[in-house]
Amino acid sequence: MSSTNVSTNKVLYVRQHIFSGVIRICHWLRAMSIVALVITGFYIAWPFLVAPQSSDVLVQGWIRLAHEIFGFVLIAVTLTRAYLFFFSKDDIERKSLKDVMSVKSWITQLKSYLWMGHLPHAGVYGPLQFVTYLGITLAAVFMCITGLVLYANVYHLGIGGALWEPAMWITQLMGGLAEVRVWHHYITWAFIIFVVIHVYMAVWMGIRFKHNSVDSIVSGYDYHPENGHH
Ligand code: HEM
């Protein structure tokens, strides 16, 4: 047996708490609702299941109800996350703002993606990552607003009724209900593209920088070797 058996080498790992419980819950509620909204939304756009004529089950209605429930989950998480960004004592995303303002930080991040050097930044997120998350958040806000406009158009009591006036105002601003629906459909693709790149990058970052990455958003902890690049 060789004396240089690498599997017996010991490496010290540092454990760092990076994601609080509420951030992790927000992340997974958002992930779950986005997946459900894309699937049920595409079904609403193209309802391919037809109940037999004798059936009184309105498939479209149930799918639409599920879409609205997940829609309200997304609205709640979007509001909670925005509140934390502005008012939490030390929000992880707000901390990364420093890097967005720094040209050096941008260059370092882009270089690190090309396997050139490491990625030191003040917050948890790199500048490009921050801007991407800001973009997908604005897309979520757009989906919540247009979703509520489509909702208020059908439900005239409760929340729908309370939102009637602003919903009509937005409908006119966007050039009619058909336009609201079409834009709600187009922006769905932003989420599909985001999810594919987001998952790929999360796995890649873990391998590239020897950090915990996918696990951290479940456990809250990041582990990286004490010496060398983390
Ligand atoms: C990531 C978020 C979301 C995605 C990807 C999404 C996707 C979609 C899609 C693809 C459609 C079908 C549009 C069409 O007919 O071509 C749709 C319809 C609709 N969505 Fe969303 N949606 C999202 C968020 C929301 C939210 C937050 C609400 C608010 C409750 C909402 C309420 C609705 C309503 C009421 C309809 C119309 C249903 C109908 O025409 O019968 N959506 N959505």
Residue of the CA atom closest to atom 14 of ligand 1: 45
Query: What is the chain's alpha carbon radius of gyration, rounded to the nearest angstrom?
Result: 22
Q: Is residue 2 part of a domain?
A: no
- CATH code where residue 177 lies: 1.20.950.20
- C-alpha distances in angstroms, 85 versus 80, 81, 106? 9, 6, 22
What is the span of the domain harbouring residue 163?
17-225
Q: Is residue 116 part of a domain?
A: yes
Which residues' Cβ are closer than 6 Å to ligand 1? 34, 37-38, 41-42, 44-45, 64, 67-68, 71-72, 74-75, 143-144, 147-148, 150-151, 181, 184-185, 188, 191
Closest CA to 125 of 14, 211, 187: 211
Q: Is residue 27 part of a domain?
A: yes
Q: What is the pLDDT of residues 43-70, one digit of tens each?
A: 999 988 877 777 777 888 999 999 999 9
Q: By mean pLDDT, which of 4-8, 45-49, 104-108, 182-186 is the weakest?
A: 4-8
Q: Is residue 73 part of a domain?
A: yes
Q: Is residue 230 part of a domain?
A: no
What integer pLDDT is reported at residue 1 of this predicted model? Answer: 45
What integer pLDDT is reported at residue 2 of this predicted model? Answer: 47
Q: Is residue 4 part of a domain?
A: no
Contact at 8 Å (CB) between 44 and 60?
Answer: yes
Q: Count how many domains the chain has.
A: 1
Q: Is residue 11 part of a domain?
A: no
